[in-house]
Amino acid sequence: MTVVSSGTAVVLGLMEDLMVGEGRAYSVQGKQIAVFRMTDGTLRATDAICPHNGGPLADGQFDLGTIVCPLHQYAFSFGDGTCRNGAVGSVTVYRVEDRDGEIVVWL
């Protein structure tokens, strides 16, 4: 498992383009990163591709703690990226925040 909390800050876009309750995949420096806007307005970010079978995590259902892959329902923790219901590997969790109306992620 990898949790990225420092490194290079990259602006992905405007907060107003990502609605509350929505997930969206971004291509960033050769990586696919999924960003999720929680119902409380905060952001979470993980790898966009499920390690099990390549499912699009940005299309999955999520809550404040977990993202669920839409293909086979594997659940990954936003805290550390581990899979909560199987041995399919983990996803990288990225630091992400709203900085003056822009979505910023650290690689």
Q: Provide mean pLDDT across the span 64-82.
A: 95
Choose among 99, 81, 86, 87: nearest CA to 33. Answer: 81
Report pLDDT for 55.
94
Residue 20 in this model has a pLDDT that exceeds 70: yes
Q: What confidence tier does 36 reach under pLDDT thresholds 50, 70, 90?
A: very high
- Domain range for 34 is 3-106
Given a contact cutoff of 8 angstroms between Cβ atoms, the answer to whether 11 and 103 are in contact is yes
Report pLDDT for 2.
64
Residue 1 in this model has a pLDDT that exceeds 60: no
Digit-coded pLDDT (tens) for 9-18: 999 999 999 9
Specify the number of domains making up the chain: 1
CATH code (residue 21) = 2.102.10.10
